[in-house]
Amino acid sequence: MHRRLRHLAAALLLGGIAALAAAWGAEPEPAAGPRYGDVTWSELAYSAHKFFLSASTTIRVERVPAATATTQMATAPRGEPVPVPAGGAAAITVDTALPFGRDESVTLLFDPATGAALGGRKTIVGRGAYNKLLRYTEGGLFTVRTAPANNREAASPPDAWTQRKAYLVQPAATPPPGVPVADSYALIYLVSAAHLDRQGGASRIFMLADDRFVELSFVAGGLTYHRVDFEERWPDGRRHREGKVLVREVRATARALGGEDNRGADVDLGFLGMRGSLTVFLEVGTDLPVALAGRVEHIGELTVRLDRALLTAPPPVPSP
């Protein structure tokens, strides 16, 4: 007993949490993950045009109670599910119209404070149709995938598709302990919520891409002016914004975990087919992503522009 007290006193003198934990024979606290604030918007609509092709996507976000979130995700019989916050989750819905008659609808549930992905649903209709129910686990992702078994089923709603398989992806190389795993469909929200419009801002996000984890590093660059043409709406008000706005360029680059290869450079970022790296133009003072630029497979460099933003409150009045 006296020896234990001497060890405790030494730990207190050192002033280190790790030393105090060692004195009691406990493991040090895991690395803290990022924390996010609120965003100024509840809906964003974007479009992109190149050659004779065009695509559009709408992003909506809302808060849902914990009980509601649980019913919207797959039940994982394998793996330890990421717990739903007692205060509820954020639900982000991404509806995308792609070229060649292929449409995509995704609803993702995540912890709005940490960005930790919980699960959700992803549906592709048109060429290569499928439906996925998702449930994130500690260190992995459990998926129930259904697809139409024939042409007749393809004309039916996804709940009628019968080609089914369930599987757990659990890569060997994982993020540091205690760091949450995000989902690519929440990237725009998380970049906005991280307030990276400020000088020197940076953020790091881990996510699953196919069968391995990747790290996305976001670094706030310099200021520039970006031309915009979009509509802003808020409760009891609206305005059209056209011209140049002050933005900060935020650059995201991907790195695959657990290998020497460069597979991180070809990560699907879950936004209109962009892969590997992404530049977000955040309006200074509002964190509104007014444009994004990146590389799309078979198309090349593409810029996606904001068409409409639904704000949660009236915008600030400019200083005279």
Residues 168 and 212: their CA atoms lie apart, in Å, by 12
- Structure pTM? 0.83
pLDDT tens for each residue of 178-227:
899 999 899 899 999 998 888 888 888 999 887 889 888 899 999 999 99
- pLDDT of res. 7: 42
pLDDT tens for each residue of 276-292:
778 999 999 899 999 99
Which element (helix H / strand E) includes 45?
strand 41-50
Give the CA distances from residue 173 to residues 234, 257, 261, in Å, rounded to whole numbers and listed in that order.
44, 6, 14
- pLDDT of res. 261: 55
In 3D space, the residue among 84, 53, 80 whose CA is nearest the CA of residue 71 turns out to be: 84
| Cβ-based neighbours of 307, under 8 Å, separated by 6 or more | 45, 46, 47, 56, 230, 231
Residues 263 and 253: their CA atoms lie apart, in Å, by 12
Residues in the chain, pLDDT under 70: 1-34, 99-101, 259-273, 297-299, 317-320
- pLDDT of res. 92: 96
Q: Residue 126: helix, strand or coil by DSSP? A: coil
- pLDDT of res. 10: 39
